[in-house]
Structure 1
Amino acid sequence: MKYVIVIPDGCADEPIEALDGKTPLQAATLPNMDAIAARGALALSNNTPAHFPAGSEVANLCLFGYDPDQYFTGRAPLEAAAGGITLGPHDFAVRCNLVTIEDQVMIDFTADHISTDEATELLKTAGEKLLGDFGGRFEFVPGVSYRNLLIYRGDASVPAPFSKESRSRAPHDLTDLSVADDFPRGPGSDLLVKLMNESAEVFANHPVNVKRLAQGKRPATNVWLWGLGGAPSMPSFEERFGVRGSMITAVDLLRGIAALAGWPRIEVEGATGYLDTDYAAKGQAAIEALGQFDLVCVHIEAPDEASHEGRHDAKIEALEQIDQHVVGPLVETLQKYGDHRILVMPDHPTFCSTKKHAHGLVPLAMAGTGIEADSQTTYDEVAAEAAGKVFEKGWDLMDAFVISND
């Protein structure tokens, strides 16, 4: 049995007036996703329990069959795992965005999609100027573009400045909003706020920002620290389901979940985690991976990025690219393997109207060996609701999708 999971991140949405009351999924031309719906089954899944933030970290854990109440410790520890960073029992990881804030308003949570080289240079300076008084316990770790980490190394002899009660707000949920009341709260918040504020002074006249402004780009005004947590521990996907999986993604969060699930990550040249990603290269890499693994997961961030920018046209274009260059070739290839199953679903909704992640049910379509077809013929939110099947606990879905090889 071969399995494919395609995750068009954040593709679920609400009706949009400019699309004549359709959602982007309804408005897009998606012949391959619709074909999966027509020969398979649709359903809705709740991957964002109300007591958690509506974010990719919890939603993707649920999607892969992990109960977040049992396994989630914070977003940053998942991303640390992507970089091969092992957290000890007294360590913490903190997500570190480079952002653009003007007059206390979150103008851009990506700092105009700052390059990795620029981000690395800014964080090197920030580390030298801001972390010297902490005895080497703190370190900025560059990631990809605006997505980076702050690592705290503790030990039993020194009380950690953070705890499970430490709280922070994701910057992508603050787009175009005031940040005045959304700085970190709880244990360690004074320290995090201090670093965030002082980073503004470090970055103000930094050569990287001087050059960006001269080029007409937004500067990285400061770091935004959020998503902190301690070391996670979870069983591998193969231990849970008896299936060897692999991950294709350009996003560290998904790389980290894959690492903790025991999935090798397949890096694809041209995969950017943005709208300009190489869809065809991702599809081809997935086809090649099917020869080595029982399950291949392809995650595409582009629909979510389009939503965060409030661009329903770009979201539709991303969905059509995924359908043509990822879903279509994979469906064709799966026929050669005989028994197979394919699942298409986002992690969470992201509304173009609000530019934010949202709680709520997401549509899924799955087809293949042993999956009985329902009466729906298109893949979208309305058709999935009409199918009448709901996974109230999103982590139960994998038990329905995977037939254990044990």
Structure 2
Amino acid sequence: MKYVIIIPDGCADEPIEALGGRTPLQAAHLPALDRLASQGSLALANNTPAHLPAGSEVANLCLLGYDPDVYFTGRAPLEAAAQGITLGEHDWAVRCNLVTIEDQTMVDFTADHISSEEGAELLRAAQAELLAKAAAAGDVMASRFEFVPGVSYRNLLIYRGDASTPAPFSSDTRSQAPHDLTDLSVANDFPRGPGSEWLVRLMSESEELFASHPVNQKRIAEGKRPATHLWLWGLGGAPQLPSFHQRYGINGAMITAVDLLRGIAALVGWPRIEVAGATGYLDTDYEAKGRAAVEALEQYDVVCVHIEAPDEASHEGRHDEKIKALQSIDKSIVAPLCEALAKHGDYRILVTPDHPTFCSTKKHTHGMVPLLMAGTGIDADSQTSYDEITAEASGRRFDHGWDLMDAFIKL
């Protein structure tokens, strides 16, 4: 049996007036997905429990069969795993965005998609000016923090503790995802709770440091938005996840351009297949991802393809780009994988977003997402298209999203 999981991140949405009251999934031309819908079964799943963040970190753990109340410690530890960073018992990881804030409004949570090279230069300045100087002045805890550059605006801050100097944070430390603050005031959304004074201090001091930094001066001269602040959030200690093979007895592989998914893959024991041209944005190479997934079927029992583009379009409030992304996924990923699976004998395919992301609000939200399962042993229902409305009409629900993988693999 071959299994394929396709995750069009954040593709679930609400009806949009400009689309005649349709959702982007309804408005898009998706022949491959509609064909699968007529052959398979639709349902709804809730991957974002109300008491946890409505983000990809919780939702993708759920989607892959892991109860977040048992396994979730925070977003940043998952991304640390993607970079091969091992967290010890007293260590914590903090997600570090480079953002653009103007007049206390989150103008851009990506700092205009700042390059990885520019981001690394700003983090080196933060390490030297904000942390190294404090450590040299005798601040013991400052010496235990380290900024770790990642991809573009997505970076990390690591705290290395021990029994004598554990991390100042706890599960009661609260932070806010910057992508949920787009166009909103940030005045009341700085971190709170144990250890938050450290995070707020670094975030506040970064403003003055970055204002005169050559990276930002150059970006402004080129007509780009500067990275005005560090935004620290999503912190947590080391997670402990049983491998996917331990749970289901089969091996898988992950195709993604996003560190969060790379990290989850690493923690569940899946190798990550890196695809040239995969960007995690609207300009990603859909065809290259599709080809890589088809090739991976020769080696792995489960091939998971994650595509960030629909989510990015939603964060920018661009329903037209969201539709284009969905149509590219249908043509360049779903269609070739369906053709390839038919040559492998028994197979099952699952298509589902992790969480809804509404174009109207530009942020993730709690709620059900539509899913589609087709293949060997899966009876067809009466639905003939894949979208939020037809999935709801199916009458089938997974109120706990982590139950979905059992149904998909074991059925």
TM range (shorter): over 0.9
SS at match of 2:372: strand
1:16 is aligned to 2:16? yes
SS at match of 1:131: helix
Query: By how many angstroms is 1:158 displaced?
Result: 1.4
Letter in 1 for 2:282: L
Q: How does 1:163-242 map to 2 (within 5 A)?
A: 163-242=170-249
1:246 is paired with a residue whose SS is strand
C-alpha deviation, 1:159, in angstroms: 3.5
2:90 is equivalent to residue 90 of structure 1: yes
Q: Please tell me whether residue 357 in structure 1 is matched to residue 361 in structure 2.
A: no
Contact 2:8 2:307 in 1 (8 A): yes
**Cα distance in 2 between the residues matched to 1:335 and 1:136:** 56
Residue 371 of structure 1 is matched in structure 2 by 378
> Deviation of residue 135 (structure 1)?
5.5
Which moves more between the two structures, 123-132 or 390-399?
123-132
Q: Percent identity?
A: 76
Deviations 1:12-70 (A, max 9, x none): 00000000000000000000111111100000000000000100000000000000000
Q: What are the equivalent positions in structure 2 for 1:57-206 lying under 5 Å apart?
A: 57-132=57-132, 133=135, 134=141, 136-206=143-213
Report SS of the residue matched to 2:276.
coil
Matched, 1:294 2:301: yes
Q: Distance in 2 between matches of 1:284 and 1:159?
A: 46
Match of 2:138 in 1: none
Once the 2 structures are TM-superposed, how far is the Cα of residue 136 of structure 1 from its aligned partner?
Answer: 3.0
**How many residues in Structure 1 have an aligned counterpart in Structure 2?**
404
Task: State the match for 2:264 in structure 1.
Answer: 257
Q: Can you list the C-alpha shifts for 1:45-99, whole angstroms capped at 9, x where unaligned? A: 0000000010000000000000000000000000000000000000000000000
Q: CA deviation at 1:5?
A: 0.4
Q: Distance in 2 between matches of 1:159 and 1:344?
A: 42
Deviation at 1:160, TM superposition (A): 2.0
Report the Cα distance in structure 1 between the residues aligned to 2:299 and 2:401, rounded to whole angstroms: 28
Shift of 1:312: 0.2
* Residues 254 and 282 of structure 1, relative CA distance in 2, 3 Å threshold: same
Mapped contact 2:2–2:341 kept (Cα < 8 A): yes
Paired letter, 1:108: D
Letter in 2 for 1:187: P
- Give 1:49's aligned residue: 49
Give ranges in structure 1 of 5+ residues lacking alignment.
none
Distance 2:354 2:99 in 1: 24
TM-score (norm 1): 0.99
Would you say the 8 A contact 2:91–2:166 is kept in 1?
Answer: no
Distance apart, 1:131 and its partner CA: 1.1
User: Over residues 117-176 of structure 1, what are the superposed CA-to-partner deviations in whole Å (9 max), with x where a residue is unaligned?
Assistant: 110111011111111114531110011000000000000011321111111000000000
**Residues of 1 paired with 2:359 and 2:194: CA distance?**
34
Find runs of 4+ consecutive structure 1 residues off by over 6 angstroms.
none
Residue 391 of structure 1: aligned partner: 398
Which SS does the other structure have where 2:343 is aligned? helix
Counterpart-to-counterpart distance in 1, 2:129 and 2:180: 29
Shift in Å, 1:187: 0.5
Q: When the two structures are superposed, what TM-score results if normalisation uses the length of structure 2? A: 0.98
SS at match of 2:273: coil
**Shift, 1:201, TM fit:** 1.0
Where in structure 2 are the equivalents of 1:290-369 lying within 5 Å? Answer: 290-369=297-376
CA distance in 2, matches of 1:80, 1:35: 39
Tell me how far apart the structure 2 counterparts of residues 131 and 277 of structure 1 sit (CA, whole Å).
Answer: 36
Aligned counterpart, 2:281: 274
Residue of structure 2 in register with 1:40 after alignment: 40
Q: Which SS does the other structure have where 2:384 is aligned? A: coil
Measure, in 2, the Cα distance between the counterparts of 1:69 and 1:126: 34
Deviation at 1:403, TM superposition (A): 3.2
Check the 8 A contact 2:278/2:285 in 1, yes or no.
yes
State the distance in 1 between where 2:276 and 2:285 align: 8
Letter in 1 for 2:255: I
Alignment partners' CA distance in 2, 1:166 and 1:8? 31
User: In the TM superposition, what whole-angstrom CA distance separates every residue of 1:302-347 from its partner, at most 9, and x where no partner exists?
Assistant: 0000000000000000000000000000000000000000000000
Cα displacement (A) at 1:243: 1.1
* Counterpart in the other structure of 1:402: 409
**Matches of 2:166 and 2:284, distance apart in 1:** 43
- Counterpart amino acid of residue 41 in structure 1: S
